[in-house]
Chains A and B, each alone.
Chain A
Amino acid sequence: MTAKSVLLDHGSGGVASRNLIEEIFLPRLDNPILSQFEDSAILQSGSTRLAFTTDSYVVDPIFFPGGDIGKLAIHGTINDLAMQGASPIGLSLALILEEGFALAELERLADSIGEAAKQSGVPVVTGDTKVVPRGKADKIFITTSGVGIVPDKLILGSGLARPGDIVLLSGTIGDHGVTIMAARAGLSIQSTIRSDTAPLHRLVAALLREAPGSIRCLRDPTRGGVATVLSEIAVKSGVRIDINEKNLPIRPGVETACEMLGLDPLYLANEGKCIAIVDPAHGAALLAAMRATKEGRDAVVLGSVAETDTAPHSSGGRVIMKTVIGGTRIVGPLSGEPLPRIC
């Protein structure tokens, strides 16, 4: 790592974040569970397999069209559990509050957190609050952890994609990321876009009921977006993933905002979407199961998995996109915080 201090890029969810973890933490904390790099860790206790995860939320603005930092904190942790196929059973909620933060806003967030937990059917079972002097935090930072139960014998992983598999995407992309960027930029387009924050455990349960043995991998494309998640799967599985730009579901408002800000929706965060790599034999049934849920009604087949075509000594897996006009391009992982450009 060339930087001498922590930069915002290190929190982008892309290559810089990964370098930070691999160079600073992994050598010091290394163990077989952590090094899996999955959304949740799987812990075995007797015959029970538990999924365990934690995540911090520092979004600005804290209220945005379609949600707020509280809802994100509940949904995000539920989703990290769900991506390992786990059924969430309880969450923790830890708050760092800045001196001077309006209690009315805190109450509004607490209402939202309560509602999100209730609607998800996953209770907040423990918590903590700390207050720091004005200026030492920005209004409110939230950390949630979660525990869930993983069905017997179910093994999902980013390294399990095989040639022939198909790639499902549960709905439109870029909604959350562009909503936050547009809110920060004060774009008038804001009224037509909203965050997609949603819990995905019911969608995952529907997939598991349909064909549990046919699901290789589930991932929620949050920071770094669909491009980064697919690149990780391709590299870890040593496969080529072919996607079709024509099949990418993007809302018109999101597309407009992306054109205006010079952003690529493939790299924007989603907070209620899931990518599933599945056995083609049950692809149609799993797509139908996704579409039958509220969160997955706009689900599509995004592409398929093929043998890697790179030479053995190169980095291996990669993602190739067929563009709308019939060209091809490589889709790499996000390298730093997406920045709006000059012209």
Chain B
Amino acid sequence: MLSEQLTEGFRDRELAEKLTGRIREAATGPLRIMEVCGTHTMAIFRHGIRSLLPGEVELISGPGCPVCVTSGGDIDQIIDLASVPGVILATFGDLVRVPGSKGKNLAEVRAAGARVEIVYSPADALKIAESTDRLVVFPAIGFETTIPVIAATVLEARQKKLGNFMFLVSHKVVPPALDALLADPELAIDGLLCPGHVSAIIGAQAYQPIAEQFHIPCVIAGFEPIDILSAIYRLVCQVREGRAEVENTYGRVVTTNGNARARKMIEAVFEPCDADWRGLGTIPGSGLALRDEFRAHDAGKYFALNPISVPEPKGCRCGEILTGKVKPPQCPLFNTRCTPTSPVGPCMVSSEGTCAAYSKYGLS
């Protein structure tokens, strides 16, 4: 089976024990490693990787969950659009429970009569648009991993002249966010565990400037436990030896230059813009907007939406959690007012959010 081929050997207990032994030997002092990607965060919890690491090695979850870093203003616009009569909002599942600043989420506006359809890919949203005269809006959220598929769907929508299919784009790209994060003097991070899927698109070379400028080791990893442990070991070694290099432990998927074809498609459809990140603020050039030639499919332009800024929910520390400054149990709302059933902040909503992971796996 597919999954056996993909995971064979990468969940081997003996190998895991060997690697943790080596990490223990190599970790001579306390060090903090940030995993940038939400899928890594979940894999680390799911496989109990923290329980295997020596106390010196601390894993900090970074801003790598697409839902979590989507600004409150963008979330409000998505929820408002879902409530517009005649609109069908076709969305990935993770967005359904994210609360807007007015206290409502998509599940609640759906219960009140809005048409909110959960889709598994933008192609499914396109199919809905083909089957109806109503306006179908797809909130395009996500990093380099998701963007090529969305770009392909935008191209298909234009080719099919689907005038009733639009995208509300709040895509974000990873490298400028890492720049902003590492430039923060309050952030004390010794190494970056770099995302696998994103790197498949942008290539290992994308981290070279970051490694050099901030003198920080960057190791790209896959999502299986052995992948993650190997990458942690390499990071620990680099720190011990005072090196700051880009290493790629996910060579079976990630190349030095990445996927040029996918990047070309992204460039054909989107252009860089400033983006508002939850927790990080506005980062120049870190977002993507549809190029003007695709304005017929741009829900932002069609509804003449302007960026709105909303304050964070009172007491919510998601911003500091996303930048690794505090851990979920340090937030006064964690597991009290903010739970997976009734989330206040975005880090509790997404299945890849740091707070959701801490809550689900009972860490305190």
Give chain A's interface residues, CB within 8 Å of chain B. Answer: 2-9, 14-16, 19, 185-187, 192, 252-253, 255-256, 259, 261-262, 264, 318, 321-330, 332, 335-336, 339-343
Jot down 10 A-B pairs with beta carbons below 8 A, ordered by A.
A14-B341, A16-B341, A186-B120, A325-B226, A325-B229, A326-B17, A329-B46, A332-B359, A339-B351, A341-B94
Stretch of B142-150, B279-287, B321-329 that contacts chain A: B142-150
| B111 in complex: contacting residue of A6, A186, A256, A341, CB < 8 Å | A6
Residues of A within 8 A of B191 (CB): none
Across-interface contacts of B97 in A (CB, < 8 A): 9, 336, 339
Among B16, B111, B339, B340, contact of A325 (Cβ-Cβ < 8 Å): B16
Residue B295 CB within 8 A of the other chain: no
Q: Do A329 and B361 touch (CB < 8 A)?
A: yes
B12–A325 contact, CB under 8 A? yes
Cβ B360 vs Cβ A335 within 8 A? yes
The stretch that binds A, out of B1-9, B212-220, B265-273, B296-304, is B1-9
Q: A186-B124, A329-B48, A342-B146 are in contact. List 5 more A-B contacts (CB 8 A).
A: A256-B1, A326-B16, A332-B362, A341-B352, A343-B142
Per-residue A-contact encoding for B327-364, CB less than 8 Å = 1, 0 else? 00000000000011110000000111000000111110
Instruction: Tell me which residues across on chain B come within 8 A of A14, comparing CB atoms.
Output: 341
CA–CA, A324 and B11, complex, Å? 7
Q: In the bound complex, do residue B39 and residue A343 qualify as a contact, i.e. CB atoms below 8 Å apart?
A: yes
B48 touches A327 (CB 8 A): yes
Chain B residue total in the interface (Cβ 8 A): 56
Contacts A3-B108, A335-B340, A335-B341 given; does A342 touch B45 at CB 8 Å: no
Contacts of A259 in B (CB 8 A): 3, 6
Q: Which residue of B lies closest to A267 (CB)?
A: B360
Shortest Cβ distance from B229 into A: residue: A325
> Which of A16, A330, A339, A342 has a CB less than 8 Å from the CB of B361?
A330
Contact with A along B105-141 (1 / 0, CB 8 A): 0011011100000101000100000000000000001
User: Inside 8 A of B120's CB, which chain A residues have their CB?
Assistant: 185-187, 261, 340
Query: Which residue of A4, A323, A325 has the most chain B CB atoms within 10 A of its CB atom?
Result: A325
**Contact, CB under 8 Å: A335 / B339:** yes
Task: Report the separation of the CA atoms of residues A341 and B48 in the bound assembly, to the nearest whole angstrom.
Answer: 21
Residues of the B chain whose Cβ atoms lie less than 8 Å from the Cβ of A329: 45-48, 51, 361
Q: Which residues of B contact A (CB under 8 A)?
A: 1-4, 6, 11-13, 16-17, 38-39, 45-52, 66-67, 92-94, 96-97, 107-108, 110-112, 118, 120, 124, 141-143, 145-146, 197, 225-226, 229, 339-342, 350-352, 359-363
Task: Determine the chain A residues whose CB is within 8 A of the CB of B352 once the complex forms.
Answer: 341
Inter-chain contacts of B4 with A (CB < 8 A): 252, 255
A324 proximity list for chain B (CB < 8 A): 11, 13, 47, 225
Q: Shortest CB–CB separation between residue B99 and chain A, in angstroms? A: 9
> Which chain A residues lie closer than 8 Å to B141 at the CB level?
342
Known: A325-B225, A343-B66. A262 touches B12 (CB 8 A): no
B118 touches A332 (CB 8 A): no
Chain A residue contacts of B48, Cβ below 8 A: 321-323, 325-329
Is the CB–CB distance between A340 and B108 below 8 Å? no
B145 engages A343 (CB within 8 Å): yes
Bound CA–CA A343/B45 (angstroms): 17
Q: Is the CB of B93 within 8 A of A339?
A: yes
Q: How far is the CA of A77 from the CA of B4 in the complex (A)?
A: 36
Q: Are A15 and B361 in contact (CB under 8 A)?
A: no
**Nearest chain-B residue to A261 (Cβ)?**
B120
Q: CB < 8 Å: which of A7, A19, A326 contacts B107?
A: A7
Contact assessment for A343 and B143 in the assembled complex, using a CB-CB cutoff below 8 Å: yes
State whether A327 touches B360 (Cβ < 8 A): no
Inter-chain contact B351/A341, CB cutoff 8 Å: yes
User: Bound complex: CA of A343 vs CA of B111, how far in Å?
Assistant: 26
Q: Which residues of B contact A332 (CB under 8 A)?
A: 359-362
Residue of B nearest to A182 (CB): B120
A311 to chain B, nearest CB (A): 11
Q: Give B44 Cβ to nearest chain A Cβ, in Å.
A: 9
- Most chain A CB within a 10 A radius of its CB, from B67, B112, B342, B361: B342
